[in-house]
Structure 1
């Protein structure tokens, strides 16, 4: 597939900001363009709060959001990591092939999901309003939207900051938090509702615990989750190292507490999202083996109901079994995905031991042997990976239980992405101020 050309010169800090802003603007415009063929009908999203995480905007060109691209990326990473596809991503030609196949797979997944919407979900929502011609046209529109996001992501990756996928996630979650907190329209956001309650002399209980709309308890929960996530991002375990040939030279190998970052919660989200999508389409066709939905598209029973997070303390109190099931499922999946991810992406103890050995480093007090180093590293990396995965899953679930705005998963992704962007922007600023630093790192 065609690709965005790699810049042949250094892209300045200002230019990166411009290209990043341009890509975000195009995405936001496309998220407001309604699908032709729906006849202006209001579309109910079956993704629930996952629409924030996957930048999905119901009834628009961005209906699928980044879902197909993330799904394709995960599939390719797993295929390469498990050696089913024999590619070495350190080789430029293999890396180019990997990128091309991943883009093609994203388009295929996008067309498949678009057809499921156009021929499965939309006709069930609107009945006889949609014709076969409308469904084909909608499939094409959604596929074009996926391709557009694909190239916007590539544009940001090469000419902007971070990646387009990360940018769109942050934009979607941030917009959701802002609207839920400050919306002046009914139902009022949490802060305007608090102001109205104070002015009218109403009880503060409604402002903090109202049901079915954002409340101040959710605002405080959001703030607390942000602080916890930021602190967790900075936590790390440091393993002492020494240079083999010069024992006096010491160093440390940092292992972040969130060693797999927020990847586990993304993978769990993709799994839940696809189960929900498939269950919704099956339910519309009369099959309820995965669950049932109410008239607003929310899970009402079955497996999909128990894999959907209760949003707010009132829903937790109404069905504690659902809350416990979701919490356990998310924590177990995040632990499993964290372990799987580090072993599939050359972050496992064996890979790290080989990297340190090639660098001439060893762990003081142990003989220089890859097997010994791997054994020592495994005691740290395995435990930290599993604990970090469990922590990120539990924090995401608890944020939803306490009604955090933008969803717990969305907040964690936003914090992780912004943390990474901050580090990248800081490096770019240093390289702008000191060109010698950029030349040293090959920029």
Structure 2
């Protein structure tokens, strides 16, 4: 196994195309980290630290911005607008049949147009989110009162940072290897590891050793579980009918159709986190209202969402829902059944056509339940550990670990696929 790994590493460095793609990814991540360190002017650092410490939702936003929100950089809202735009566009496929047809039936050209619409939608969302967060930070004394021109300038800078980050992610997807947006989120998570480790070292307490051991064990379980569920699949036997064309006999072979337990990958987690950011942001913003009943209602919502158990319940539910939703978009039983029938293939014991689609739909529904419950449980497990141990860093760390492991697995598989092609 080690010999095979070393051989693939050698292939990566020897192949010019693959090496160029990997170097491009690294260069893009360096640029991203540089931009994430450029702050907007006039920040009250002490006030910002206290504000983030009391608001776990903005800690989640910090994941999407690659740590840019913690120092209010020009990348402070990160890829959140793009992810929100992607969610909106995916939801629109349910409401607008033309969009669904474009995404699922028009091939690469249709998907490219669909992604272009997502990019267009990202622009206004970036301005809206930039405006909302800047106003929120002003109200909390983190950013000083700005003139109208200064406020507009900062909103433009923040929105431009989000759009630039989206562009960098698209470049990584096109000219690099792996999903660019996921890699940017991963880079932000990894960039926070040194400070997290140093904080852990400086705050080390011998009495907390059992807690540290338990946390390490939980991290190992999460990593193992994510790897297992990501790789788990249900093989569906498929037989190709024997056909005679002239002197050639085609088909007559048996294979299988792999149905993954977690078809959606890490996207349900990212979608759920994106959705969870909005209620807290709006409630915190409205809590500053001069209208008493609006301020009281918003404060009640904000305090309710600040409760870990309420937040965990919503988080779990959203992860499960988005797992099914994303699976329904990426795997269409009717289309799969149609393709099988078109190619003269069938599932033994199941009639081709509608019966096959129903059979596949039932199977994917059952196995997706396992994946959805697993992802949801892993998502809220850090919150449970936080409630038991009182270590607040676990909440962000657990979510970040879940995303990071999935992104690394996807990246390794894509590199492995590229090296296998070149090897043969």
With the length of structure 1 as denominator, give the TM-score of the two structures.
0.78
Q: In structure 1, what is the equivalent of residue 37 of structure 2?
A: 32
> After the TM superposition, which of the residue ranges 94-103 and 36-45 deviates more from structure 2?
36-45
For residues 132 and 351 of structure 1, the distance between their equivalents in structure 2, rounded to whole angstroms, comes to: 54
For residues 268 and 29 of structure 1, the distance between their equivalents in structure 2, rounded to whole angstroms, comes to: 28
Is 1:37–1:137's contact at 8 Å kept on the other side of the alignment?
no
For residues 42 and 160 of structure 2, the distance between their equivalents in structure 1, rounded to whole angstroms, comes to: 15
For residues 26 and 213 of structure 2, the distance between their equivalents in structure 1, rounded to whole angstroms, comes to: 31
Is 2:42–2:144's contact at 8 Å kept on the other side of the alignment?
no
For residues 158 and 120 of structure 1, the distance between their equivalents in structure 2, rounded to whole angstroms, comes to: 36
Deviation at 1:81, TM superposition (A): 4.4
Deviation at 1:155, TM superposition (A): 0.9
Give the 3-state SS of the residue equivalent to 2:408 in structure 1: helix
For residues 93 and 250 of structure 1, the distance between their equivalents in structure 2, rounded to whole angstroms, comes to: 32
For residues 143 and 266 of structure 2, the distance between their equivalents in structure 1, rounded to whole angstroms, comes to: 40
Q: CA RMSD in A?
A: 2.6
Q: In structure 1, what is the equivalent of residue 63 of structure 2?
A: 53
Give the 3-state SS of the residue equivalent to 2:287 in structure 1: helix
Q: In structure 2, what is the equivalent of residue 130 of structure 1?
A: 146
Q: In structure 2, what is the equivalent of residue 352 of structure 1?
A: 336
Q: In structure 1, what is the equivalent of residue 267 of structure 2?
A: 263
* Structure ranking higher in helix proportion: 2
> Which of 353, 369, 383 is equivalent to 1:370?
353
Pair 394,137 (structure 1): closer, same or farther in 2 beyond 3 Å: same
List per-residue Cα deviations over 1:93-141 (Å, max 9, x = no partner).
Answer: 5334323221111111001111112234324424863332321121011
Q: How does 1:152-231 map to 2 (within 5 A)?
A: 152-180=168-196, 182-183=197-198, 188-189=199-200, 191=201, 193-194=203-204, 197=205, 204-209=206-211, 215-231=212-228
Pair 253,192 (structure 1): closer, same or farther in 2 beyond 3 Å: farther
List per-residue Cα deviations over 1:355-401 (Å, max 9, x = no partner).
Answer: 3223332101223x211101211221011122211210111101332
User: Structure 2 regions of 5+ residues with no counterpart?
Assistant: 1-14, 244-250, 387-393
Q: In structure 2, what is the equivalent of residue 64 of structure 1?
A: 77
For residues 101 and 248 of structure 1, the distance between their equivalents in structure 2, rounded to whole angstroms, comes to: 44
For residues 357 and 174 of structure 1, the distance between their equivalents in structure 2, rounded to whole angstroms, comes to: 46
Pair 429,278 (structure 1): closer, same or farther in 2 beyond 3 Å: same
Q: How does 1:15-26 map to 2 (within 5 A)?
A: 15-26=20-31
For residues 291 and 259 of structure 1, the distance between their equivalents in structure 2, rounded to whole angstroms, comes to: 38
Q: In structure 2, what is the equivalent of residue 245 of structure 1?
A: 242
For residues 275 and 184 of structure 2, the distance between their equivalents in structure 1, rounded to whole angstroms, comes to: 20
> After the TM superposition, which of the residue ranges 402-411 and 65-74 deviates more from structure 2?
402-411
For residues 59 and 288 of structure 2, the distance between their equivalents in structure 1, rounded to whole angstroms, comes to: 20
Pair 290,177 (structure 1): closer, same or farther in 2 beyond 3 Å: farther
Q: In structure 2, what is the equivalent of residue 408 of structure 1?
A: 398
> After the TM superposition, which of the residue ranges 39-48 and 394-403 deviates more from structure 2?
39-48
Is 2:264–2:323's contact at 8 Å kept on the other side of the alignment?
yes
Pair 291,265 (structure 1): closer, same or farther in 2 beyond 3 Å: farther
Is 1:244–1:361's contact at 8 Å kept on the other side of the alignment?
yes
Count of aligned pairs between the two proteins: 381
Q: Are 1:423 and 2:413 counterparts?
A: yes
> Which of 322, 327, 340 is equivalent to 1:337?
322
Is 1:52–1:410's contact at 8 Å kept on the other side of the alignment?
no
